[in-house]
C-alpha cells in the first residue's frame, strides 16, 4: 500500500496544528509577562495576531478536506467487523487521482442511486472481470479469491437481488467496480443496486481515529 498520499495529508494537518501552536505560545508568553502590552499589541495588530492565522488555517483545512483527507462517520453495520457503527474514519482522497483502486481497498463513493449520499464498501470486482458468488465464496474469472480479507468473509446469494442470484455470473462493466460490504448479511451493496462508476469514487478509507479504543489502520 502506497502511504505517500497519507503522509502528505497527515503532514498538512500537522502543519496547521504547529502553525496555531506557535501563535498561541507567542501570545501566551506575552500575555503572561505583561497583560497591558499584550492587549495593546493585539489591538494594534488584530490582523496579524488573530484574523490571519484563522484565515490561513481555515483555507488549509478546506483544501485538505476537499482534496487530501476527509473525516467520515460509519452509520451502519454493513462493514462489520472492519468498521463498527459510530466509528470515525479518515479517507485518503488523493491516491485515486494518482492510480486506480486495488481489489480489497475499502472505498468511499457516491451512492449511484443518490449521489448526495456517501457509501463505504470493500472493492471486490474490477472493470471487465466476471464475478460469481457461490457457497459464500467469491470467484473472479472462474478462480476463487482465497487471500485475506476475502477468505475470511462469507458472502450471501440473494435471489431477490439482481446481482446476487445463485449461479449468476456478473460481468463488471468498463470504468466501473463491484463493491461489497464485509457484513454480507446486513449490507445493501452492488449485489442489490449494481456497479460503482469510476467517477463516483471519493477515496480510500484507511484509518479509524475515534473512539480511542478503536484507533487503528483499517484493512
Q: Active-site residue numbers? A: 78, 121
Q: Where are the beta strands (DSSP E) in the chain?
A: 69-73, 88-92, 106-110, 118-125, 130-134, 137-140, 143-144, 169-171, 176-180, 196-197, 201-210, 216-217
Give the C-alpha separation, 177 to 175, whole Å: 7
Rounded Cα–Cα distance for residues 199 and 201 (Å): 6
DSSP code for 161: S
CB atoms inside a 10 Å sphere around CB 186: 13
Amino acid at each position: 500500500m502506497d502511504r505517500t498520499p497519507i503522509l502528505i495529508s497527515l503532514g498538512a494537518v500537522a502543519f496547521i496544528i504547529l502553525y496555531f501552536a506557535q501563535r498561541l505560545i507567542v501570545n501566551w508568553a506575552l500575555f503572561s509577562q505583561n497583560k497591558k502590552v499584550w492587549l495593546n499589541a493585539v489591538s494594534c495588530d488584530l490582523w496579524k495576531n488573530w484574523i490571519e492565522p484563522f484565515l490561513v488555517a481555515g483555507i488549509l483545512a478546506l483544501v485538505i478536506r476537499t482534496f487530501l483527507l476527509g473525516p467520515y462517520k460509519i452509520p451502519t453495520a454493513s462493514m462489520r467487523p472492519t468498521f463498527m457503527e459510530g466509528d470515525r474514519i479518515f479517507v485518503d482522497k488523493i491516491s485515486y487521482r494518482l492510480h486506480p483502486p486495488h481489489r480489497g481497498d475499502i472505498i468511499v463513493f457516491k451512492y449511484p442511486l443518490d449521489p448526495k449520499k456517501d457509501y463505504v464498501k470493500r472493492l471486490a470486482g474490477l472493470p471487465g472481470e466476471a464475478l460469481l458468488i457461490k457457497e459464500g465464496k467469491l470467484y473472479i474469472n472462474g478462480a476463487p479469491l482465497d487471500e485475506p480479507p476475502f477468505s475470511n468473509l462469507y458472502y450471501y446469494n440473494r435471489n431477490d437481488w439482481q446481482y446476487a442470484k445463485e449461479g449468476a455470473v456478473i460481468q463488471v462493466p468498463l470504468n466501473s467496480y463491484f463493491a461489497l460490504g464485509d457484513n454480507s448479511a446486513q449490507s445493501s451493496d452492488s449485489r442489490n443496486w449494481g456497479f460503482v462508476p469510476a467517477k463516483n469514487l471519493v477515496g480510500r478509507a484507511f484509518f479509524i481515529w475515534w473512539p480511542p479504543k478503536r484507533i487503528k489502520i483499517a484493512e
